[in-house]
Amino acid sequence: MSDPTRDLVDYTLSLGVAELGEAGLHQAKRRLLDTLGCALGAYTAPATKIARSLAPRVTDGPTARIIGSLAPTTLEMAAFVNGVMIRYLDFNDTYRTLDGAHPSDNFSAVLAVAESLDATARDFLVALTIAYEVQCRFVDCIPLNAHGWDMPISGAIASALACGRLLGMDAQQLGHAVAIAAVSNICTYQSRAGELSMWKGGASANGARQGVFAALLAERGMTGPSEVFEGEYGLWPQTIGKSCELRGFARQGGKFAIAQSNIKQFPVKDSLQLPAATAIDLHGKFPPERITRITIETYQSAYKGAAADPEFWAPKTRETADHSMPFCVAVGVLDGAITTETFRLGRYLDPDVNDLIGKCKVEVVEAYTRAAPGIRNCRVTVTSDDGQSVDAHRKLSLQDIERGLSDDELLAKFDDLTAQVLSPDQRARLLDVVWHIDGLPRIRRLVDLLMV
């Protein structure tokens, strides 16, 4: 079995921008635009304000700016504050195969270090691609969630490697950065169980912050522990109890993870994108007061992460609501839409929504479970008081996810997210820079445009 640290370091050092090709670059730009929209859309969120209040204003030494205010702060705090904004709405992209993660959570770490170095946009895009590739191959190969561990474990490692690439670190330094990030950030899945809190969105931002810190320490000569994956107390035995191999890193001509992630249509959990769309198909079929039952047929992992806990049946926080299958289906049937405004207005607390949640039943279909995650199925059946029923059935394949939103749909999402904080002229200038970012001499020019 190959050595994970060596494989990660070799890939980080060897990937070149030419390997992405025009298609890969376009997909990277799409994720960049989507991530910026999510961050700007959460500029005034409560969690953002808390994080921003802790960021010291720094004028000496390496600095990076906070999206929205453009206040200079430390690289670690820029990664954290910007990461909280990116993740808060639960609208940034996801990647799910054996496990699950939000690979754009690493964007804040990569941007902070790239800006501090006045890096070229192409160097930034390569580093971002490395971060996506590393975290998503963890998702393909290592079932951390199933053993009770959370995505910032791989996120901190991905961020450390991407930042190390920007910093020009050699193989030895990168190995130490991996070691420091790996042993210091073993976090539990409790962040996503029971009644969910603001930390659901803060955990991965902290992983990005810790990835930056690990890279900066290793660059300056800090050494990390040995055998961080396979050692007696290493990552594998402490989390999943057996040795694993990371594989599948994309090279030229292959499918890069940055082109495979799921750009969300709705601001809800990845496994709820399909139930949300299916429920919306049934909006208006019966007057709400006549609905007596809603049956939701789904697959096991979607049920476990969005309907198994009692808190999902009576959400008290927005974080629980955007992870609740009964809520998403009920509000989809009632309102015919699920947007950021749905959560800003606290629809999860409204009597009509909770009344309909009480009429929902979730059934796990074995055939759907066997087909997932390659083919995801959801069927929703609404029954009225006279015994009539109507249903909707949707499927989502990995190919559908890769195809994702069209560029026009992505632009509409970006406009919706940024309409309250950017003027039309600001949006136009930012869009022009994003679509042509591979020709941008310095990434700071992009950050300059992120003032609200």
What is the distance between the alpha carbons of residues 123 and 102, in angstroms, rounded to a whole number?
Answer: 22
Residues 79 and 206 in one domain: yes
Q: Which of 402, 421, 440 is the last residue of a domain?
A: 402
In this structure, what is the dihedral angle of CA atoms 64, 65, 67, 71, given to the nearest 10 degrees? Answer: 160
Number of domains present in the structure of the chain: 2
Residues 182 and 35 in one domain: yes
Residues 101 and 239 in one domain: yes
Residues 183 and 81 in one domain: yes
Q: Which of 402, 420, 436 is the last residue of a domain?
A: 402
Q: With beta carbons less than 8 A apart as the criterion, state whether 103 and 129 touch.
A: no
Strands 360-364 and 291-298: parallel
Q: Is the dihedral of CA 237, 240, 241, 244 positive or negative?
A: negative
Residues 228 and 191 in one domain: yes
Residues 433 and 306 in one domain: no
Q: With beta carbons less than 8 A apart as the criterion, state whether 313 and 324 touch.
A: yes
Left, alpha or beta for 194 (phi > 0: left; psi -120 to 50: alpha)?
left
pTM assigned to the model = 0.97
Task: Indicate which CATH number applies to the domain containing 411.
Answer: 1.10.4100.10
CA 153 from centre of chain: 14
Residues 326 and 388 in one domain: yes
Residues 93 and 213 in one domain: yes
Q: Which of 387, 402, 417 is the last residue of a domain?
A: 402
Residues 359 and 440 in one domain: no
Report pLDDT for 2: 78
What is the distance between the alpha carbons of residues 161 and 12, in angstroms, rounded to a whole number?
Answer: 7
Residue 423 belongs to domain spanning: 4-263+406-448
Q: What sections of 42-170 are H helices per DSSP?
A: 46-53, 75-88, 107-117, 121-141, 152-166
Residue with tokens 């006279």, as numbered in its chain: 386
Q: Which residues are CB-neighbours of 126 under 8 A, at least 6 positions away?
A: 15, 16, 17, 20, 165
Number of Cβ within 10 Å of residue 241's Cβ equals 8
Task: Indicate which CATH number applies to the domain containing 318.
Answer: 3.30.1330.120
What is the distance between the alpha carbons of residues 164 and 153, in angstroms, rounded to a whole number?
Answer: 17
Verify cis geometry, omega within 30 degrees of 0, for the bond prior to 287.
no
| Phi/psi at 360 (5° precision) | -90, 150
Report pLDDT for 283: 98
Residues 155 and 217 in one domain: yes
Nearest alpha carbon to residue 320 among 192, 221, 434, 146: 192
Q: Which residues are CB-neighbours of 399 under 8 A, at least 6 positions away?
A: none
Strands 100-101 and 291-298: unpaired
68, HSE (Cβ side, Cα atoms, 13 Å): 23
In this structure, what is the dihedral angle of CA atoms 426, 409, 101, 320, given to the nearest 10 degrees? Answer: 90
Tokens of 441: 């001499």
Residue with tokens 């961050």, as numbered in its chain: 39
3-class SS string, 163-221 = HHHHCCCCHHHHHHHHHHHHHHCCCEHHHHCCCCCCHHHHHHHHHHHHHHHHHHHHHCC
Which amino acid belongs to residue 98?
A: L
Report pLDDT for 1: 62
Flag residues of the chain having pLDDT under 50.
none
What is the distance between the alpha carbons of residues 181 and 200, in angstroms, rounded to a whole number?
Answer: 20
Residues 288 and 188 in one domain: no
Q: With beta carbons less than 8 A apart as the criterion, state whether 347 and 335 touch.
A: yes
First to last CA, the chain: 50
Residues 227 and 86 in one domain: yes
